[in-house]
Structure 1
Amino acid sequence: MTGPAPRWVRVVAALAGSAYLVQGVWAVAHPRSFADLVATFPPYNAHYLHDNGAFAAGVGVCVLTALVWADALGAALAGAAAASVLHLVNHITDAHLGGSPSDLVGLGAMAALTTAALIAAALTRRARGRGAAPGRTPAPASRSRAG
């Protein structure tokens, strides 16, 4: 989509992004409550609910970031970094529930790489002067031709 999105599209995005973020934080912070009220199918598994919450929160962060940062890759990386960091934290805090210590290597690498890429994307846009107007697509650079 070029240019600003219609207002109703931005409203739907804000509502959906907020719903995913709230659901994700709820599933991570209070998996039993989430399971009792939303995920009412057995068997209960706190770790899988934590992981579900991490990825739902990542979707929410992605959609909400896209509303304020006119860079699709940056918004996608924000969501991926949020999900990856939360997923890593889940495996650390849920170590007593199972899994393998070697899982932390891959999960830690994914969290570090997506976060580093997000920071690089933000710094690159800022250095190019395209981060000053959140939510707006930057105008293409004009090129003059010497005649």
Structure 2
Amino acid sequence: MYDRAGARRRAARAALLLLAAAQGLPGLWALLWPAHFYGTYPVPGHPWVAGFPPYNEHLLHDTGAAGLALGVLCACAAYSVQPQLVRAAAASTLVFCVAHLVFHGAHLGRPFGAEEALQLFSLAAPVACAAVALLTTYGPPQRTPPTRASDPDSAPVPVSRPAASVRRRPGKEETP
């Protein structure tokens, strides 16, 4: 029998791991080496960020920190695959990535060529991944994923049971 809930969890995890890398790694680069990021992102000789001067170390540093934070959120969601966290990570990524795509789509260099096509693809792919992750949280209820023994927050909660009751014979009263 096909396990839809398991397939949805795997799809969400894959999409979120791609997002964690796509947002977190450039974010880390911009946070730690903003000038290098500005002059060489995505690869040396094709500086996409330098096409929007002037260089601003503070802005690149803060944007890098935000990208890294978004990557960490996506990684946490990929680890737990809990619907609420997956939705939060996917929605947060969509907010950033859709705005980023719209801006750059409106400010593409002319004439349109392979470089601009790659830019649009690199901006649209995270939107698609975030949409996939978000969509996996809707539909028939998912089975609860197995808990991880190493995660104290997901350990089963012990059920408290009332103390064993004493069997009493009918008609016999208890004396204090």
So what's the TM-score if we normalise by structure 1?
Answer: 0.46
So what's the TM-score if we normalise by structure 2?
Answer: 0.39
Which structure shows the higher helix fraction? 1
- Higher-Rg member (1/2): 2
